Amino acid sequence: MTINRRDLALSTLAVSALALAAPAFAASADEEAVAKKVEAFRLAQIAADPKALGALCWDDLSYSHSSGKVEDKATFITNATDGKSKFLSIEYKDPTIKVVGPTAIVRFHWVAEQEMAADGKKVPTNLHILMNWQKQGDEWKLLSRAATKL
């Protein structure tokens, strides 16, 4: 059997494409469920929706800002929805999700812009985010979040 360069190139290309696609197919049901919750959280932040944020978070939430300020669930929701600022955009870039038992570790690059209600000033943010989600029954809820300025 002889293999010419064209056949070799095509088979190499096919194997490479399969190898690159494999991680996408490997996503578990839990990883997909967490990804949906992360997106729901992003949308709830943009909408400043206290009910949606409350439903996505554990009662014992620890929410840490890049300033070092740490909030519990009630304080986070109050401050996120008080109307003193509004998000014009929030992007969660390059997210990774790793499920370990009943816990999911989520990391992403946060790029956002807020508008301050008092003076209309627009404030950009560029952060690295670490979220820990924990499975409660069949539901994933945010347990903790930490932010680092980039």
User: What pTM did the predictor assign?
Assistant: 0.81
Beta strands in the chain (DSSP E): 57-64, 70-71, 85-100, 103-116, 122-136, 139-149
Q: Residue written as tokens 């998000």? A: 87
Which residue ranges make up each domain of the chain?
29-149
- pLDDT per residue of the chain (150 residues) written in tens, 0 to 9: 454 444 444 444 444 443 444 444 457 999 999 999 999 999 999 999 999 999 999 999 999 999 999 999 999 999 999 999 999 999 999 999 999 999 999 999 999 999 999 999 999 999 999 999 999 899 999 999 999 999
Q: Which residues are CB-contacts of 46 (< 8 A; sequence separation ≥ 6)?
A: 87, 89, 90
Query: Which residues make beta-bridge pairs with 91?
Result: 111
Domain 29-149 sits in CATH at: 3.10.450.50
pLDDT value of residue 23: 45
Query: Tokens standing for 30?
Result: 């839990």
